[in-house]
Structure 1
């Protein structure tokens, strides 16, 4: 087999889905299905035996679900894994947890667990497989350093805002940053994570359970409150608008920016007009350049920009664009970002 051919293991309990995935993949000259597994347990065994370059992993399966299979594979034979998830509350929650435990990315089945319309996302699947094959899997298995939570002796001044942009690999970095922001920072935090509807809500709920700050999916026309993290909902740009001394959210379904919606550039641009120099923005792991134009505008007004360093990025794309344009004031591994945010807010 040609070294350039991506070897793929399909793990799915649905015979139909296995057939569709295999058909989509094997039409590509640069891909080859080297194995098929019907259960999570069989998937683990074949991952070790066949040594694939990429694994597509169903979420709900007998014997061992996708999350548990991911955990074992990442310990025994680390491999880039793409979760194949249906849009149910349970599946989206498991998918988010799988991303935090080593899965590289996920793709959503268009309509339920056995979808006759899965071919509509074929191009997206193939792009994700090619991108996953390039990921340095050691980034997914790095021992995550538990940062010391910054202490704040007094309530920080308000009138500031923290903005965070993330994409592929983002849930892992957010899982390191958000729970380590202490209550009492007294500012709102707005997160733009590239994800479809449903998954952003699951991400918000999971982070809320492990954080001192309140984490929620943003709603339309909602006043920004201090000590609250707002996750941009999937398929909507998240805008900010000022009314007197208050700032409100709004949801927007205008065209995609940087081929994504929500886009960080949309949020960063509007926030810069309102908060001027009182912004701390962090651009985390992800493909593409979303956040770079917004970072430029924030810098123009005197705000501060943090870029996640290559050391902890699953995909060093979005932060790299910010660094290469010299917009970054600080380039830090994800486990140092919460501490820097608090320091910049005046809490140390």
Structure 2
């Protein structure tokens, strides 16, 4: 059964090009197009697509408002397309706050090393976010469905979205997922390391904004994100969080209560000793490294500096970046948490870690912050 896509963009050229790319995949079917946000809202209600691709800047109604309006009446994953500018970054982050699940740059060459790879990344991203909707769609039974929060709650805040996922989508219990059942291990830590990709901006905002101002450890954050976006994203997190959040700079000394976001297009390495650790930001043109920044690289270098004193968390994302870094952390004796499937936009990265037997716990997104505070508070 094909994944049904609604393409929304005010550029007729981009609509046509995107339609051609998606239609060439037998698993994808473009069922309609719209040239502004108002038309997108109408077409979404009429066609009930499995996924929507949405431009940010459009006449009549922009993509941000369109996302809000669509999510008031239906739960459909929306993938934003954005220009790689500071203004484009801010608008895209606003769209994610409104309820969009992920974004891609409008220039396809910015998402991969060559045109063919970029096209494949685009198709896979559309499929991944669409499958999220297929996963959460309730089964048809004779029993009336449970009462759920209004769909607009999904668009209000990342935390509301996570709570909604936790309360309505988990079909089978996962051991020790609930914060109420959580018992801290008593292990000592000196660093928290978090890696994520697709769906990560919302997940990170959910966690970071829930941490107290006196959080006792430094945090390194690796989010697959273009260079034009990481500065704006770090600034947004810093404005919302009680702890300090900054885009990491070369030579930064790791300080308690500060979260360091890896710059897009570069690699973030941890160097020094566990009592005086610092960050090294480097360009990396190695063809073997797909992601810049890479979770594996940051996690791997953290393992060498902090040994068994890292609590690493792998959140929602496509692919398996983070698995090899977690394997090295595990060999040194550090702890690994992975986000559970029910609360992921895309279960790829956490699944890779869990399937490799590296995860000490699977945690619902809505529970990560409270468990994190409880765990490191007993260090």
Normalised by the size of structure 1, how large is the TM-score? Answer: 0.87
Q: 1:300 to 1:127 in 2, by over 3 A?
A: same
Deviations 1:43-71 (A, max 9, x none): 01101101122211000112221112112
Task: Find the aligned partners of 1:58 and 1:165 in 2 and give their Cα distance.
Answer: 27
Q: Residues 211 and 119 from structure 1, CA distance in 2 versus in 1: closer, same or farther, beyond 3 angstroms?
A: same
Separation in 2, partners of 1:21, 1:321: 30
Q: Aligned match of 1:333 in 361, 364, 371?
A: 364
Gaps of 5+ in 1: 150-156
- In the other structure, the counterpart of 1:220 is 250
Aligned to 2:308: 277
Stretch of structure 1 that moved more, 269-278 or 157-166: 157-166
Distance 2:43 2:70 in 1: 10
Aligned mate of 1:75, from 69, 72, 77: 72
Deviations along 1:230-268, one digit per CA (max 9) or x if unpaired, are 111111121011069422211233226663221111001
How far, CA to CA, are the matches of 1:244 and 1:52 in structure 2?
Answer: 50
Q: Given the alignment of the two structures, is residue 145 of structure 1 paired with residue 175 of structure 2, yes or no?
A: no
Secondary structure of the structure 2 residue equivalent to 1:68: helix
2:32 paired with 1:14: no
Partner of 1:320: 351
1:25 to 2:43 alignment: no
Unaligned runs of 5+ in 2: 138-150, 155-159, 167-178, 180-186
Aligned match of 1:189: 219
CA–CA separation in structure 2 for the residues paired with 1:256 and 1:135: 31
Counterpart position of 1:153: none
Cα distance in 2, alignment partners of residues 285 and 244 from structure 1: 28
Report what 2:263 is aligned to: 233
CA contact (8 A) 1:258 1:290 kept: no
- Bigger share in helix: 2
Aligned to 2:143: none
Aligned residues: 333
User: What is the aligned counterpart of 1:303 among 334, 359, 363?
Assistant: 334
Report if aligned partners of 2:270, 2:278 keep a CA contact under 8 Å in 1: yes
Displacement of 1:346 in angstroms is 2.5
Match of 1:152 in 2: none
**Larger displacement relative to structure 2 (251-260 or 235-244):** 251-260
Q: CA RMSD in A?
A: 2.8
Residues in 1 aligned to 2:371 and 2:81: alpha-carbon distance in whole angstroms: 35
Greater mean alpha carbon deviation, residues 12-21 or residues 58-67: 12-21
Is 1:5 the counterpart of 2:35? The answer is: no
Secondary structure of 1:144's counterpart equals: helix
C-alpha distance in structure 1 between counterparts of 2:129 and 2:274, whole Å: 46
Of the three residues 87, 91, 94, the one matched with 1:94 is 91
Equivalent residues of 2:188, 2:378 under 8 A apart: no
| C-alpha distance 160-243 of structure 1, shift in aligned 2 (>3 A) | closer
User: Residue 257 of structure 1 contacts residue 263 of structure 1 at CA under 8 Å; is this kept in 2?
Assistant: no
Distance 1:269 1:177 in 2: 23
Q: 2:51 aligns with which of 50, 54, 70?
A: 54
- Map Cα deviations across residues 276-304 of structure 1 (whole Å, 9 max, x no partner): 12111111111222112211221222211
Rounded to whole Å, the distance in 2 between the matches of 1:325 and 1:119 is 30
Q: Distance in 2 between matches of 1:294 and 1:243?
A: 18
Q: Is the 2:269–2:281 contact (alpha carbons within 8 Å) kept by the matching residues of 1? A: yes
Equivalent position of 1:242 in the other structure:
272
Cα 1:257–1:76, aligned 2, differ >3 Å: closer, same or farther? farther
TM-score normalised by the chain length of structure 2: 0.80
- The 5-angstrom pairing of residues 110-149 of structure 1 reads 110=107, 121-136=118-133, 138=136, 141=154, 143-145=161-163
Question: What is residue 237 of structure 2 aligned with on the other side?
Answer: 207
